[in-house]
Structure 1
Amino acid sequence: MNRFLKAFSLVAIIVFFASCKNDDDVKVAPPRDYGVQYASDKDSIMKFLTNHYIDLNTETLDATFPEITNAAEQTSIWDQTDYPLQNIKITRNDVEYTVYYLSFRQGVNKSPSLGDNINVTYRGTLFDGTQFDYRPYSSTEVELYGFIPGWWDIMPLFKSGNFVEGNIGEPASFTDFGAGAMFLPSGLAYFNQTRSNLIPPYTCLAFTFQLLDVTYTDLDKDGILNKDEAAEPGASIEYYDTDGDGTPNYLDNDDDGDGRYTKDEIRIPGTTNQYYTFEEMFNEDGTVKDEFKCSPSSTLPKFLDPACKGGE
């Protein structure tokens, strides 16, 4: 089991450094202190948000951000109210980042977790408008954990759309999908890497995106979907590690460290490969149903409770 997890973690690391697009021309600059660099990035981001405006295609929900040339007619990203600028706090590398983003539409269907697959179209640009990456519509899904870290935090805030099957000879399409933009400091992007000579080291990036579809996955094959591996409302699966063994639950097929596979602990009695769903084990208020607890005082289901040896 440990060999499987180490091998999987290595694959995840490789995919992470591939980031938004595979690229052989990667150079690494001397590392800087993350906190010092973020102070510089904050200044760059604030200048961009106050000196550029939104030019939005209301049909595709794709946007560009031209520089303001007529303040009387062009309202900055920071000051405009059609799509109020939002932000979340993210702590990585011992730095608390404020990540700014725009929601052009929230979406109506599924929100991805870090471990899920997404069908997404996007455009990546530098703050001077240079486009360095573009992904038009494709029927192929991509893994969210294969993107740069800023994506891991912004994508779960949006939902996918509804699939519309095309007529004969016409492609399928999506309606009511989530769409927005994110403005990332270098510490949540490529930091000290140079990518294809288009992205210098320590560069802030802007992305616009349309989240078309989401497929929930189970990376560790433990019978629990990645989206449910945190077991706490609103918690990220990235570091959620019930047994404290250093492997987050979504990559750990024994979440409570009791020596039994999680899927064996949630198997429906009398079956060989049928499992209770996460929803079946919890009440509507988010508490665990009594029959799935180790003891009346437990707040975790048996398969997550380190005090519940053997899942009994």
Structure 2
Amino acid sequence: MRYGTIVSLVLAITLFSCKNDDNGSGGTVVPPSLLSDVAPEDDAEIVEFLNTHFYNYEDFENEPEGFDYKIVIDTIEGENADKTPMMDFAQSVTINVSSSHFGLSAGEEDIPHKLYYIEARKGGGGSPTYADSTLVRYRGSLLNGNLFDENQDFNWFEISNIGAKGFADGLAQLYAGTTDQIMENGDGTYSIANSGIGIIIMPSGLGYFNVARSSLPSYSILMFMVELGLYVEDTDSDNDGVPTIEEDLNGNGYLFDDDSDEDGLPNFRDIDDDGDGVLTRREITDENGVIILPYPDADNDGVPDYLDPDTK
């Protein structure tokens, strides 16, 4: 059976958790699970999946005529018993997550979560950061194959704005294509001959954790098949002159907890980062509007003017 099956007990527990945590009606409402409890459980389930499933790696290694470069996943059994498991191709990266990232009050800090990814085809260009803009198409599903999101056409995304943190972190492990390999398909669509194609599997703590969405139970492990076309470095989400990647002041890979003036807007979405009434762009440019590097620090206190409310 494609994508395998999820053990009934796991489904029962997931659905029960969804009802108790999220709908607030019927039964006793219990507090959300701890990241530190869920992360190892998710990891065990992901490892089991990777060891018992394969993808069409042979098509990518020896491209058959008319190959559409779509990733297909199936169970290692029967006539597929000799296939190489996905685990043999998978790489992983550990990313820390805190309960505050989900608005939870558990006080958990920097709980490690392991994200897995497979590079089915390496792109011919560079690799984006979690703060860049990317041209990407994707298909998102649960491990049992149930589709919850899909974008069949290339679209630009500022990946920092996507709710599932692991999506941005996963794309950052892959390589994009290049503009000189864009090809018109003759039907109004286009393809990129050297795009990067891969699989991203993330634990619920890198997805939506305890939050249930329209087609997703709470505590869902997410899997994305992605094609990464192009990317733009130094994306500036709020157009304040400071690249989004530089707005991650604490360098933890999470942009929403950097709010210098504590106005509820993270710096990467705030055009006045220090809240002094002078726009960030004005505080980092000369009279001709040219950005000054390094950023001005009028009182030489080590804090650039655009982050220092005492300097205008």
Q: Note whether the superposition's TM-score is higher than 0.5.
A: yes
Distance in 1 between the 2:304 and 2:193 partners? 37
Task: Note if contact 2:261-2:273 (Cα within 8 Å) is conserved in structure 1.
Answer: no
5+ residue gaps, structure 2, are: 1-20, 24-28, 61-66, 100-107
Residue 153 (structure 1) aligned with residue 169 (structure 2): yes
* SS state at 1:153 partner: helix
Counterpart residue number, 1:85: 91
Aligned with residue 120 of structure 2, among 104, 124, 141:
104
Counterpart residue number, 1:166: 184
Deviation at 1:48, TM superposition (A): 1.0
Residues 220, 133 of structure 1: CA spacing in aligned structure 2 closer, same or farther, 3 A cutoff? closer
Deviation at 1:263, TM superposition (A): 0.7
Residues 105, 260 of structure 1: CA spacing in aligned structure 2 closer, same or farther, 3 A cutoff? farther
Deviation at 1:250, TM superposition (A): 0.7
Counterpart residue number, 2:16: none
CA deviations 1:232-252 (Å, max 9, x no partner) are: 8x7636146373636432122
* SS state at 1:157 partner: coil
Residue 303 (structure 1) aligned with residue 291 (structure 2): no
Deviation at 1:45, TM superposition (A): 1.3
5+ residue gaps, structure 1, are: 1-26, 282-287
CA deviations 1:127-163 (Å, max 9, x no partner) are: 223333332124x424421342221322233343223
Correspondences of 1:219-234 after superposition (within 5 Å): 219-230=237-248
**AA of the residue aligned to 2:150:** Y
Counterpart residue number, 1:202: 219
Distance in 1 between the 2:175 and 2:142 partners? 26
Question: RMSD across aligned C-alpha pairs, in angstroms?
Answer: 3.4
Task: Note if contact 1:218-1:225 (Cα within 8 Å) is conserved in structure 2.
Answer: yes
Counterpart residue number, 1:241: 258
**Alignment: residue pair count:** 261
Correspondences of 1:175-186 after superposition (within 5 Å): 175-186=193-204
**AA of the residue aligned to 1:89:** I
Instruction: Tell me the TM-score normalized by structure 2.
Output: 0.68
Aligned with residue 66 of structure 1, among 74, 93, 104:
74
Task: Note if contact 2:185-2:191 (Cα within 8 Å) is conserved in structure 1.
Answer: no
Counterpart residue number, 2:22: 28
* SS state at 1:200 partner: coil
